[in-house]
Amino acid sequence: MSLDLSALEDEPRLLIEVHLKPVQGSRFQPTGFPDLGAATFKGFDDDGNNVDCLLVESAQSMANRLEAVCWNEAEGDLVEPLQGLPYVKSTLPDGSETDSIREAHRLNSPYIVNSQAFDDIREEIGFEANQPFDRRKLAAALLKYDPSSLLHGVFLEKVGGVVRLPRVISAFVEANGIEVAAAGGVKFDRVQPGTGKNTLYGKAAEGYGNVPYHRDEYTARSITAYFNIDLAQLRGYGLGHDAEALLTAITLFKIQKFIRDGLRLRTACDLEQGGDVVVKRPDGFSLPSLDDLSKELPGLIKSASLHFADPPITSVTYDKSHKPKKG
């Protein structure tokens, strides 16, 4: 088939939702935050009634998860349908490697920007202090070296304070109608159960003794994953039809592959699709299947390859003493 994206041509947003459910049982463990715990809040159901809600997965975490489903850990490279996409690989002093796909800050990773080779990327970004910054140059440089940074956002503050782009694709998971499922257990020490005055080995703070603990899990009336693709922002970069079609297809691939393969968010938060994938906006657009996207992506990558670095994988060597030049 030929991928038909014509229904998106004049649309500002593509909004997608999918209901999820636990693979087994009804309990799940949400994301937690230091000094906050689970992020609960008051929301509303479809009838306008006040309900207790919960953030199951944050936008920051979802950005990393949408990247993770594109990476083949066994092969140490992008999954097959995405082969040929550019990214930056950095060699560390001990010979190990990291890259802009797996780094949390993507192209802004300190293991990438602190390298001699990054100076060439910085020149193409075109930032100069005390001059208006053309973000289209940044977008073109990201497309050339690391489209994932273009899709998931980047802030290259070591180049300049205005060298940033927001996410083209953002996502989060929420639950509503929640109830706390209080649980707990004990860390069992078969050698020294107690931690009183005359303990032989050490105290609980050092990892010794039986240590009871508690944990709040949750149940919910519904769990929903939300995806937002900013089509207007993408078109505003002026990258051309081939690049825009490719980047849109990559976002749809990430969503479909996450729904199929990426829903084990934590050991106690193993979810699966619980309903159809629903396109909320625009009307009339049907989300292509993962199989169809996988078949179309190699051709789209080839069509847009004139915009890419040659070779597409840019190799750099991390040098802690090297600091990127500022404009």
What is the residue-wise DSSP string for 45-61? Answer: -TTS-EEEEEEEE-HHH
DSSP 8-state class, residue 12: S
Residues 59 and 187 in one domain: no
Q: What is the residue range of 33's domain?
A: 14-178+220-317
In this prediction, what percent of the chain has a pLDDT beyond 70? 99
Beta-carbon neighbour count of residue 259 at 10 Å? 21
pLDDT tens-place string over residues 104-121: 888 999 999 999 999 999
pLDDT tens-place string over residues 201-212: 888 878 888 888
Q: How far apart are the first and last CA of the chain?
A: 47
Q: What pLDDT, on the 0 to 100 scale, is given for residue 198? A: 79
Q: Which amino acid is at 211?
A: V
Is 4 inside a domain boundary? no
Q: Are 119 and 127 in contact (CB under 8 A)?
A: no
Nearest residue to 260 via CA among 252, 25, 15, 13 = 252
Q: Which residue has the tokens 């009183």?
A: 196
Q: What pLDDT, on the 0 to 100 scale, is given for residue 172? A: 97
Strand, helix or coil for residue 274:
coil
Residues 158 and 260 in one domain: yes
Residues 189 and 254 in one domain: no
pLDDT of residue 305 exceeding 90, the answer is: yes
pLDDT of residue 322 exceeding 70, the answer is: yes
Is 322 inside a domain boundary? no
Mean pLDDT of the chain: 91
Q: What pLDDT, on the 0 to 100 scale, is given for residue 92? A: 95
User: Could you give the C-alpha distances from 255 to 171, 213, 224, 289, in angstroms and in order?
Assistant: 9, 36, 13, 10
Q: Can you tell me the mean pLDDT for 291-301?
A: 96
Q: How confident is the model at residue 184 (pLDDT cuts 50, 70, 90)?
A: confident
Q: Are 308 and 82 in contact (CB under 8 A)?
A: no
Adjacent-strand bridge partners of 184: 214
Final residue belonging to a domain, choices 190, 217, 244: 217
Is 119 inside a domain boundary? yes
Nearest residue to 256 via CA among 296, 222, 221 = 296
Nearest residue to 16 via CA among 273, 300, 296 = 273
CA gyration radius, the chain: 23
Is 122 inside a domain boundary? yes
Q: How confident is the model at residue 327 (pLDDT cuts 50, 70, 90)?
A: low
Is 280 inside a domain boundary? yes
Final residue belonging to a domain, choices 201, 217, 233: 217
pLDDT tens-place string over residues 221-239: 999 999 999 999 999 999 9
Q: What is the pTM of this model?
A: 0.90
Residues 172 and 63 in one domain: yes
Residues 277 and 291 in one domain: yes
Residues 196 and 252 in one domain: no
Q: What pLDDT, on the 0 to 100 scale, is given for residue 272? A: 97
Alpha-carbon distance of 322 to 171, in angstroms, equals 35
Q: Can you tell me the mean pLDDT for 146-174?
A: 92
User: Could you give the C-alpha distances from 91 to 83, 97, 107, in angstroms and in order?
Assistant: 20, 5, 14
Residues 61 and 122 in one domain: yes
Residues 267 and 289 in one domain: yes
Q: How confident is the model at residue 4 (pLDDT cuts 50, 70, 90)?
A: confident
- How many domains are contained in the chain? 2
pLDDT tens-place string over residues 18-68: 999 999 999 999 988 777 888 899 988 878 888 999 999 999 999 999 999
Residues 201 and 283 in one domain: no
Q: Are 85 and 312 in contact (CB under 8 A)?
A: yes
Is 44 inside a domain boundary? yes
**Residue 253 or 44, more confident:** 253
Poorest-pLDDT segment among 15-29, 149-163, 219-233, 244-258: 149-163
Is 1 inside a domain boundary? no
Q: Can you tell me the mean pLDDT for 270-293?
A: 94
Q: Can you tell me the mean pLDDT for 291-315?
A: 96
Residues 26 and 132 in one domain: yes
Residues 145 and 236 in one domain: yes
Per DSSP bridges, beta strands 169-176 and 50-57 are: antiparallel
pLDDT of residue 1 exceeding 60, the answer is: no
Residues 284 and 210 in one domain: no
Is 148 inside a domain boundary? yes
Strand, helix or coil for residue 114:
coil
